[in-house]
């Protein structure tokens, strides 16, 4: 049977039992791989496309959990990020996270974490037809519980302009209001650090992590998305120290699973980036320092290269 979430083909054990399928049949289907568990008592058919993508699978698991928990449960933390479509980094998807507006009753199982917490109406929203914590509340929750680097990645992505003319998921003012509303809770010093440093001009997870690494290394703060005009063409750089004639470029497009465009060969992307870098380097004596994902941890060698370029 289709169940309440036919888009993902979620099957609930209780519904299967009600339809006359006994526990033995369910167990055999699980052993044969015909059903795949996504959380306790909820399954997907073995060929469901949601199983291919961890975030889509988590979305299905979140929907199943909310269906069983009933009114008053809101997807939160990383589950809210998945439903809201806000990018994140290094957050596990093994548990569905929900928040209930209460002071007690929290619990954590193998596949579910229920957070009891005050949840005023302005901290609530909907995404994909499901109840979620709003973008600003979700950013604050992640920063409180997951630390500065993971929180900053989420804050930057939530503040970033989305495709086309759509507004960003949240604003600095909304983040400040939510932070003020939950003041005094555990982790608020982390939240304050994240909100003070958040900047929607960071265009990717890698750029945000780079920006934080630059600050931790004690280097001067760069200008983000600084334009350089070369041979009549306008180039936008990831990081720039214009007074030093230094440009920093984070190249994470290929290793992070993106290419330059539909059907474009990764080698061609690299070649075009090299030509772009050469043009920037030639313009008024710029030094270009480039790094990739593997250079972020540790950032020591890249910081040394940047420091040498800035000290020319």
Mean pLDDT, residues 203-210 taken together: 95
pLDDT in tens, 47-71: 888 788 899 999 999 999 999 899 9
Residues 44 and 85 in one domain: no
Q: Is there a contact between 138 and 81 (Cβ–Cβ < 8 Å)?
A: yes
How many Å is the Cα radius of gyration of the chain? 23
pLDDT at 166: 74
Domain C-terminal end among 170, 197, 224: 197
What's the pLDDT score for residue 268?
58
CA distances from 280 to 212, 230, 234, 269, 295 (A): 24, 7, 10, 17, 22
* Alpha carbon 233 to its chain's center: 32
Are 57 and 191 in a shared domain? yes
Same domain membership, residue 163 and residue 108:
yes
Mean pLDDT of the region 33-41:
85
Sorting pLDDT into bands at 50, 70 and 90, what band is 284? low
Q: HSE-up of 52 (CA within 13 Å, CB side)?
A: 3
Give the domain range for residue 37: 1-48
pLDDT band at residue 79 under the 50/70/90 scheme: very high
Strand partners, 107: 114
Closest CA to 135 of 69, 74, 64, 225: 74
Tokens 């934080």 map to which residue?
A: 212
Q: What is the CATH number of the domain that holds 275?
A: 3.40.960.10
Q: Edge-to-edge strand order for the sheet containing 223-230?
A: 223-230, 233-241, 246-250, 287-291
Instruction: Give mean pLDDT, residues 37-54.
Output: 84
- Please check whether residues 65 and 183 belong to one and the same domain: yes
Long-range contact pairs involving 44-47 (C-beta distance under 8 Å, separation at least 24): 44/8, 44/9, 44/10, 44/11, 45/9, 45/11
Task: Give 250: exposed, middle or buried? Use CB within 10 Å, 0-12, 13-18, 19+.
Answer: buried
Q: Residue 274's pLDDT is what? A: 60
Residue 170 and residue 282 share a domain: no
Do 77 and 212 fall into the same domain? no
Percent of the chain scored above 90 by pLDDT?
59
pLDDT of residue 170: 95
Please give the Cα distance from 67 to 61 (Å, whole number).
10
The reply to whether 245 and 154 lie within a common domain is no
Same domain? 175 vs 215: no
Q: How is residue 200 written in tokens?
A: 């929607």
Output the pLDDT for position 270. 58
| 225-277 pLDDT tens trace | 998 877 677 778 899 999 999 999 998 754 433 333 445 555 555 556 665 66
Same domain (yes/no): 11, 85: no
Number of DSSP helices (H) and strands (E) in the chain, helices first:
11, 13
Domain edge (last residue) among 48, 68, 83: 48
Q: Determine the 3-state secondary structure of 233 from DSSP.
A: strand
Of 197, 229, 249, which closes a domain?
197
Shared-domain flag, residues 65 and 174: yes
Q: pTM (2 decimals)?
A: 0.83
pLDDT tens track for 91-142? 999 999 999 999 888 999 999 999 999 999 999 999 989 999 999 999 999 9
Q: What is the pLDDT of residue 228?
A: 82
Cα–Cα distance for residue pair 312/159, rounded to 1 Å: 35
**Number of domains within the chain:** 3
Same domain, 57 and 190: yes
Angle at the Cα of 252 from the Cα atoms of 238 and 77, rounded to 5 degrees: 95
Q: Tell me, yes or no, whether 8 and 76 share the same domain.
A: no
pLDDT digits (tens, 9 = 90+) for 142-166: 999 999 999 999 999 999 966 556 7
- pLDDT value for 273: 62
In the DSSP assignment, the letter for residue 202 is -
């Amino acid at each position: 049977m289709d169940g309440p979430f036919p888009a993902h083909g979620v099957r609930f054990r209780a519904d299967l039992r009600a339809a006359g399928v006994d526990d033995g049949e369910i167990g055999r289907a699980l052993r044969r791989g015909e059903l795949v568990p996504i959380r306790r008592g909820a399954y997907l058919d073995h060929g469901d496309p949601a199983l291919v993508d961890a975030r889509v699978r988590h979305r299905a698991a979140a929907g199943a959990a909310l269906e069983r928990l009933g009114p008053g449960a809101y997807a939160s933390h990383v589950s809210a990020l998945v439903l809201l479509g806000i990018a994140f980094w290094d957050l596990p998807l093994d548990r569905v996270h929900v928040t209930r507006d209460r002071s007690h009753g929290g619990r954590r199982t193998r596949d579910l974490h229920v957070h009891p917490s005050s949840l005023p109406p302005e901290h609530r929203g909907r995404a994909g037809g499901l109840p979620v914590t709003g973008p600003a509340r979700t950013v604050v929750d992640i920063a409180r519980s997951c630390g500065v680097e993971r929180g900053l990645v989420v804050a930057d992505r939530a503040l970033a302009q989305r495709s086309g003319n759509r507004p960003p998921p949240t604003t600095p003012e909304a983040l400040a209001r939510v932070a003020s509303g939950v003041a005094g809770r555990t982790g608020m010093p982390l939240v304050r650090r994240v909100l003070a440093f958040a900047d929607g001009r960071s265009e990717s997870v890698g750029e945000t992590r780079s920006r934080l690494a630059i600050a931790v290394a004690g280097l001067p703060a760069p200008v983000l998305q600084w334009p350089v005009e070369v041979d009549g063409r306008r180039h936008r750089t990831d990081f720039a120290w214009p007074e030093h004639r230094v440009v920093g470029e984070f190249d994470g497009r290929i290793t992070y699973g993106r290419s330059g465009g539909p059907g474009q060969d990764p080698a061609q992307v690299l070649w075009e980036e090299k030509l772009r870098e050469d043009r920037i380097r030639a313009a008024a004596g710029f030094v270009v320092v480039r790094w990739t994902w593997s250079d972020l941890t540790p950032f020591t060698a890249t910081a040394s290269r940047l420091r040498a370029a800035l000290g020319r």
